[in-house]
Chains A and B, each alone.
Chain A
Amino acid sequence: MTEDDLERTLRGAFDAHAHASVSDQASPPPPRFATMPDVSANSRSRLVRWAAPLTAAAAVVAVVGAAAAISRSTASHDADQNRVLSQSNQSNQSTPSASADPTAVHVKLHNDDNANYGVGMPVIAYFSKRILNGKSLQQATTATVNGKPIEGAWYFETSKAGNGPIEAHFRPAEYWPGHAAVHVSIPVKGLSAGGGLTYDNNLTTDFHTGAANIAKVDNLTHKMVVTTDGKPYGSFPVSLGIRFTPTRPGIKVIMEKSNDITLHASSSPQLHVQYAQRLTYGGEYLSAAEWNVANIKKGVNTSGGGTNLLPADAKKLFNLLQIGDPVEYVNTGGTPMQLASGYGDWNVPWKVWLTGGLVPTH
């Protein structure tokens, strides 16, 4: 490879990476600095007056203190992130209540009503404010499977989907049963969310689970083994993350499906990736990888973390699997799958789940 070739490859690679991380169509989220208290107005003049009798050195300390206070107050705005996933689900989102009442908390659900989901699908709720106490939510929420009550619990985390400051996931101790009708009722309007906050709406959601599909990927065998309703469906060779970018171990859940992802990079022709099923916000997918057929067949890990499948297998699995189906990874070398990296719900032990995570629920 000549120096020129290498240079061209690097330019192409950086450009493709840049476009893959932020598309040309992406628009900036609301800037975090805009939500900060104005440094230069009231707060500072108050501080300066207060510091007036002090020496310059003392004033510097005060200003540093003010800066620290500001950085703390911005921590809660972390979630103004513009996630690809949240954009694709906009149709499902009711308008957040921009109600004048500063104590009102509005809840909206990610889940589509009357949708079909896999048995690992959590019910996902976004909150307009960071609530402090989840007990009333936990007590009010009831769930039934085919009309019979089932125990479930909420667990809170910072919203990686970027829908408000915090989100909570509701799930039973084990996967939902397959081929079942699930109803979840969340009558919280008027109840306290802690810290003087009150919910301003009631919600329900209904969904059907499809066949109980469970996929297991083992890095020792380099195979993805799929069962459906407990019966073997098939075994498929995979290429997982190369050693620099290992695939995360743990249980992931299919978050979205896209038959054709298109990359627009100025330096390379458009690249289409087919049969992609998203597993993490970071971008681990199950997908066809026709460029990697040799390594998939040999069982050599060369991907950037995703699960590369032979094109025919990827198509088959794209048609079988549904949003909400769990995919379990064992013997891979990456950092274990975390709750907030996707729908990492099933990696949290039930006893821990019952604590409520960021917000106490019991």
Chain B
Amino acid sequence: MAPLLIVEADKQSGGLTDRSAPIADRVDLHALYNAHWRYLVRFAALLVDDVTSAEDVVQDAFVALHRRADSLREPDAALAYLRTSVVNLSRSVIRRRQVARKHLKVAEPEATPAADYDVLLRDEHRAALVAVRALPRHQREVLILRYWSGLSEREIAQSLGISPGSVKSAASRGMATLQRVLGSEFA
């Protein structure tokens, strides 16, 4: 039975000194957190429409990164990992919310999309956000990433776990729907 590599290291060093060096030695999580917290919470808030959940999502994404910081040495790779985590965790938030809605009696707090920034938004912006919220998930995510995140098409595909071709087609379907909805409302 071949011992695990990690166990070998343990035997040799009498502990895991090599591998248990502070995580900051690989990717400086605190620096990454301070630099990207605001961007990521904004991104999550666009996806889940509720700041409290968005903040939770970002905390959880960093916790997940913290657990596997060993394998991520490049800040860029770490940031890509965080973006993907935010997307996936946001999807879970929305799924949980839909389940909660089906069982109204056990609805969790914040189960409605808060979307309560209305007093802060202009008319056409509010209408656009309402219309985007009503789109199918992929289309919604693609439009948010394309018109807000500043990422390339390839990075968008990577963040969402879909092909660049799917990004393009989801974007054009989404835009066509928005054209119809918003065009008629403001005609």
Contacts and interface: CB of A to CB of B under 8 A. Distances in A.
B66 A33 contact: yes
B10 A3 contact: no
Main secondary structure of the interface of B (DSSP, over half): helix
B160 interface: no
B153 to A, nearest CB: 15
B93 interface: no
A32 B62 contact: yes
A164 interface: no
Contacts of B125: 9, 12-13, 16-17, 268
Interface string B30-61: 10011001100111011000111011100110
Contact of B116 (A19, A59, A304): A304
Interface string A279-308: 011111101010110000000001111101
Contacts of B143: 10
Contacts of B19: 40
Candidate in B37, B51, B62 with the most chain A CB atoms within 10 angstroms: B51
Contacts of A271: 120-122
Contacts of B110: 282, 338, 340-341
B16 A283 contact: no
Contact of A245 (B101, B120, B130): B130
Given A17-B45, A52-B10, A78-B56, A284 B116 contact: yes
Contact of A81 (B55, B107, B112): B55
A16 B120 contact: yes
Contacts of A242: 130
A7 B148 CA distance: 10
Nearest to B35: A28
A15 B41 CA distance: 13
Contact of B112 (A22, A248, A263): A248
B113 interface: yes
Interface string A17-45: 11111101010110111101011110011
B114 A283 contact: yes
B119 A285 contact: yes
B151 interface: no
B102 to A, nearest CB: 12
A177 interface: no
A7 B172 CA distance: 12
Categorize the interface residue count of chain A: 35 or more
A9 B182 contact: yes
Interface string B131-155: 0111000000001100110000000
Given A304-B118, A336-B107, A282 B63 contact: no
A274 to B, nearest CB: 9
A27 B52 CA distance: 15
A298 to B, nearest CB: 15
Interface string B8-34: 001000011001111100000110011
B112 A14 contact: no
B45 A21 contact: yes
A304 B115 contact: yes
Given A28-B37, A160-B52, A335-B107, A70 B46 contact: no
Contacts of A82: 55
Given A160-B109, A271-B122, A334-B112, 13 more contacts: A12-B122, A21-B41, A21-B51, A38-B20, A59-B7, A160-B52, A261-B120, A273-B120, A280-B114, A305-B114, A335-B100, A335-B104, A339-B109
Q: Which 8 pairs between the two chains have the least Cβ-Cβ distance? A: A304-B118, A282-B114, A283-B116, A21-B45, A20-B117, A18-B42, A28-B37, A33-B66
19 contacts: A1-B182, A6-B179, A11-B147, A14-B147, A17-B121, A21-B117, A38-B23, A40-B16, A45-B10, A52-B10, A244-B113, A245-B118, A271-B122, A276-B119, A283-B117, A304-B116, A306-B119, A335-B100, A335-B107
